[in-house]
Amino acid sequence: MQVRKSVLFIVYWHISSWKQSWVNIVSLFTNHLNSSIMNIVKSINISSFLVGLAFLLLPAVLFARDDASGQTTSDRIINAFYTMETVYPQQTLFIHIDKEEFLAGETIWFKAYLVNATTLEPDTLSTNMHLNLLNTNGDIVTSLLLRMENGMTHGNIHLPDSISEGNYEVIAYTDWMQNFDKRFYFNKDLYVFNPIEENFIRRSDLIRNRRFNRQLSRLEEQMQFAFFPEGGNMVAGLENRVAFKAANELGAGVDAEGILRDGHGAAILEFTTLHNGMGSFAFTPEPGVEYTARVRFANGEVKKVPLPKAESRGLLLSALQSDGHIMVSVQSNFDPATPELTEGFYLLAHTRGRPYHMEHFTLDNRAFQIHIPVENLPTGVSNLKLFTAGGTPVAERLMFINRNDIQDAVVLDHETHRTDGEDMISINLALNNFETKGSYSLAVVDASHPERDYRSNIASELLLFGDLGYRIKDPGFYLDPEAAKGPAAADLVMMTHGWKRFDMENILNNKFPEIVYGFPDGITLRGTVTPRSSARKTGQVNVELSIHQDDGIEIYSTTTDEDGNFSFTNLFYDELFMAMLRVDSRHDRRAMEVRLGGASFEAFQYSKNFQSRHLQVTSRGDDWERVPRPETVLKRRGIIQPRTAGTPSMYAQVDQVIYFDDIRDQYATVLDVLRTRVRGVRIVDGQITLRGPSSLFFTNEPLFLIDETIVSRSAFLGVSVRQIERLAVMSGPQSAILGARGTNGALLIYTLRGDSQRDITYDYVLKGFHAPAESFEAKIHTDQYARFDMDRTLFWEPYLELEEYGEFSVSFPSDENVRNLRIIIQGIDEKGRITFHDEVL
């Protein structure tokens, strides 16, 4: 007889799991009391926090069990999910970028949407977002720190004329996201064209581009194939549905067909791909028989791929969506009297980490079936998880639920007219079913082609791929209501992927993520004061921070702990700003020095993927010249001649010496001196290079030395100009004395000798929050877009101001070269309802 016990989930979710969640919160705060978890506490509104404590404490008293061992399996599962949602809430980040192809000299315009990964409501906890633009060498070309407000921020990245043509990747994340799987950072591939690079590209870069293309070609030609049994297990004696994926090594799906044969070579069935290299078939494997598929790919390559071995004693979880229900089936092929079967199983259905259905059941004649109404589940990826009575996960099946509740927009009318001698386009639009306020961005693009575009969008990322941590071609296709194969193809995506947000077994065993990063509010500067020649602890030392602004100086002060650690928090400054740290150089009659901890940057590696393109610049152009890249090189300035010989140097031959006696009061930082006094120096995006007489350009920075000791760039730039006697410059043949390390030249600082200064100051040039451009502006000639058959942005608005009923109007300049007017609207409201509209007028 089949036995079922359903759970009334809303009540159970909010009552039964309170106690264990509170236990987990206490444990979390205890384990991390002395770590950065305290930053989270500081960032939480105290009144909200106290209300939350009362909300948790009362049920913990009323419904407490003696201890955790008294919990049922369902308690453990529900409590684990509740703890993940309430104590370890995850985030999903989407960035609307105006387009995907750019020209050197253009500007990338973007708007970021940060939401709670479970509810999809705008996330209000995080205030800082990090955005990096990565090239194929893994170098960070641009790094921005952006301040978020109510889960939103926007900005722009200017691409210099000298940027190399090629593939780039946008990677973005918050501090809190660093505590979890890096696969859930936001990633977006872009391509930048530079039509003049061929005229100044270096030989080493040509070699690198050719090597990149060869590697890309090999990966494109190498095929891979995999089988994915439904539920994760092949079970002998039962009909199994098996999905498969054919792709190249870049992950791009490819067409393929094959024949499945048994161990004697007899053909069992034929199969072929349905969409993007994916397909499926159904058959009943016999016990003890091994099966092999002979797969032929579209390029003619043939592979033999073994089918996973069928279990002689296993469980088969299958599901089908039809007529507004998910029909779930669990079957077994072993003795019904087995204790594992008599104790029963638990079936859990959760979406984005929040359970919506849980059922305890036993098998009747080795089978169990249930219909779950789709209306009980939200749009998104639902995970059907099968557990044993003891709580061990044994099978999993993903289902994509599409309730067609993505909010759309409609173009009411549009016209071209002439105003003040300029051609203008005006568009009137409205959001469908507009109910609550939200945040929306608009890009109007002169599209090179009128065909529908299936690139990633806010709906595909938040609803479909946000929990998979996986890139797939044309993600928008699976949400297109007009795509006939869309639902079947989406189900194949579900069968060929797993749910990756967190590890189920870990959380069931109370192994939760380690919290290292919190929710910093503003910029935090951390550092350490240490004695120069003493083993004793630093003790408490006063530290003063001065921030120099155009309208004056702001001063902050703090005291170190006994180990000399200090921090300044809640700093809000934009772009580059100058900071000065001052400490008592003779505290407790001991000489002190300061080390400022730099910002912790993630190390990224560019991974070639199916969106990577072959690089176009593989040979020199007809107008190639041996000239530096077209970037600003500072002009030479007059050098004040020294009045004294100064401190002797082991490097007698230098190219330039700058004495500070006459200029010490004219400059605030070492960087100012480099910019205006040093010949041949180039400073681009904070990187310093020297142009010596024997070479025209360098790829790396020079060697930095203080009193003939090699130091880091930050330490070099941090020396106060009041402590410098002179600065020496070595480049070209003069730097040969430094060996291989001096290939790129050297900058040497010689400090003042003696103990004439009691207070030591350290000057830093720091990077603050990104200050976005006030308005959209395009400066590229239209003929360049036609040459590369690429889109151009005509209008960008990161924050649409909606009128009553969700209507809005925009006007922008136009010209006779507009080909196809494409409108892209993306956004989300305060309830987590997603808006996406993509239309070519």
- Rounded distance between C-alpha atoms, residue 231 and residue 84, angstroms: 24
Q: How far apart, in whole angstroms, are the C-alpha atoms of residue 393 and residue 208?
A: 47
Provide φ and ψ at 133, rounded to 5°: -110, 115
Residues 6+ apart with CB under 8 A from 243: 227, 228, 229, 230, 278, 279, 280, 492, 495, 496
Do 750 and 707 touch, CB atoms closer than 8 A? yes
How far is residue 625's CA from residue 36's CA, in Å, rounded to a whole number? 53
Are 132 and 755 in contact, with CB atoms under 8 Å apart? no
**pLDDT (0 to 100) of residue 661:** 75
Residue that the structure tokens 């070595």 belong to: 730
Provide the pLDDT for residue 609: 94
CA distance 466 to 460: 8
Q: Report the C-alpha dihedral over residues 663, 664, 670, 675, rounded to 10 degrees.
A: -20
Which of 307-345 are b and which e, b meaning 16 or more Cβ less than 10 Å from the residue's Cβ?
bbebbeebbbbbbebeeeebebebbbbbeeeeebbeebb
Residues in the chain: 841
| pTM > 0.85 | no
For residue 678, what pLDDT is reported? 86
For the chain, list the domains and their CATH numbers. 4-87 (no CATH), 91-221 (2.60.40.1930), 223-306 (2.60.40.1930), 405-448+793-841 (2.60.40.10), 656-760 (2.170.130.10)
How is the chain split among helix, strand and coil, in percent rounded to 5? 20, 40, 40
d(CA 549, CA 575): 12
Going from the C-alpha of 342 to that of each of 313, 316, 369, the distances in angstroms are 15, 17, 16
What's the Cα-to-Cα distance from 37 to each of 24, 28, 176, 179, rounded to whole Å?
Answer: 14, 9, 10, 11
How many CB atoms within 10 Å of residue 416?
A: 11
**Pairwise CA distance, residues 245 & 274, whole Å:** 10
Q: Cα(269)–Cα(290) distance, rounded to whole angstroms?
A: 14
DSSP state for residue 644 in the 8-state scheme: S
The order of strands in the sheet holding 592-597 is: 565-571, 523-531, 592-597
Neighbours of 475 (CB within 10 A): 19
Output the pLDDT for position 316.
97
Model pLDDT, residue 699: 46
CB-based contacts of 268, cutoff 8 Å, min separation 6:
260, 261, 262, 283, 291
The rounded average pLDDT for each run of 10 residues, N- to C-terminus, in the chain (841 residues) is 47 40 38 38 38 37 41 92 95 97 94 97 91 92 93 95 93 95 95 86 87 95 97 96 97 97 96 97 96 97 96 95 95 84 92 95 92 96 96 95 90 84 88 84 92 91 89 91 92 94 90 92 88 77 86 88 91 87 70 71 85 86 59 31 40 76 81 85 78 44 82 83 87 66 82 56 82 82 78 94 85 87 94 93 86
- Helix, strand or coil for residue 210? helix
Which phi-psi region, left, alpha or beta, contains residue 715 (left: φ > 0; alpha: ψ -120 to 50)? Answer: alpha
Q: Using DSSP, state whether 55 is helix, strand or coil.
A: helix
Tokens of 436: 């609550």
Distance from first CA to last CA of the chain, Å, rounded?
61
Residue 436 and residue 832: Cα distance in Å, rounded? 10
Separation of CA 174 from chain center? 8
Non-local (6+) Cβ contacts of 372 within 8 A are 325, 326, 328, 349, 357
Can you say whether residue 152 is alpha, beta or left, with left for phi > 0 and alpha for psi between -120 and 50 degrees?
Answer: beta
136 phi and psi angles, rounded to 5 deg: -70, -15
d(CA 504, CA 139): 35
Measured in whole angstroms, how far is the alpha carbon of residue 66 from the centre of its chain?
Answer: 43
Nearest-5° Cα angle at 525, 522 to 530: 165
- Surface-to-core class of residue 560, CB atoms within 10 Å of its CB (0-12 exposed, 13-18 middle, 19+ buried): buried
Beta-strand relationship, 166-174 and 128-135: antiparallel
Q: How far apart are CA 687 and CA 701, in angstroms?
A: 7
Q: Which residue has tokens 């490097």?
A: 651
Residue 667 gets the label, from left (phi > 0), alpha (psi -120 to 50) or beta, of: beta
Integer Cα distance of 571 and 522 in angstroms: 5
Query: What is d(CA 333, CA 345) in angstroms, rounded to the nearest whole number?
Result: 15
Using alpha carbons, list the distances in angstroms from residue 202 to 87, 197, 412, 629, 696.
Answer: 52, 9, 52, 9, 10
Cα 282 to Cα 240, 244, 293, 316, 488: the distances in Å are 5, 11, 14, 13, 15
Question: Residue 109, exposed/middle/buried by CB under 10 A (0-12, 13-18, 19+)?
Answer: buried
